[in-house]
Structure 1
Amino acid sequence: MKDHSFYQFALTARGRRDAKGELAEEIFDDLSFPRQEKDFHILSEYIETRGDYTVSLAVFDDLYEEYTEWLKF
């Protein structure tokens, strides 16, 4: 089982040609993003309240679900 933050996982989605890849780029470009955080609620609230994220929160939900699966292997 992996022990990585959501930010570390999001970096693996960079370059995708879909909404998840777009979100990963926005996360990468956000210098204030909580890079060591793993908690869904803290991350979700951060993205929701930041205001400068263009991707919907549903995309974050999907990417976070992918993250939880990725951690298992």
Structure 2
Amino acid sequence: MKDHSFYHYAMTVRGQKDDKGVLAEEIFDDLAFPKQESDFNALSDYIETEGGYSVSMSVFDDMYEDYQEWLKF
């Protein structure tokens, strides 16, 4: 099982031509993003309150589920 932060996973989907790719790009551009964080609640709170993200929270939710699966391999 991998031990990587959500930020690390997000960088693997940068460049995708969908909402997840857009979110990953916005995370990359956010210099204050908590790069070492992997906790869903902490990340969700940050994205909802601190970032000026253009995609809906459902995109983050889906991406976080993908992240959980990615960690298994």
TM-score, structure 2 normalization: 0.98
Q: CA RMSD, aligned part only?
A: 0.6
Once the two structures are TM-superposed, the CA of residue 50 in structure 1 deviates from its matched residue by 1.9
Query: Which residue pairs with 2:13 in the alignment?
Result: 13
Matched, 1:66 2:62: no
Structure 1 portions without partners, runs of 5+: none
Residues 1-73 of structure 1 aligned to structure 2 (within 5 Å): 1-73=1-73
Secondary structure, aligned partner of 1:14: coil
Structure 2 portions without partners, runs of 5+: none
Secondary structure, aligned partner of 2:3: coil
> Where does structure 1 differ by over 3 angstroms across 4 or more consecutive aligned residues?
none
Residues 1:51 and 1:34: Cα distance change in structure 2 (over 3 Å): closer
Secondary structure, aligned partner of 1:23: helix
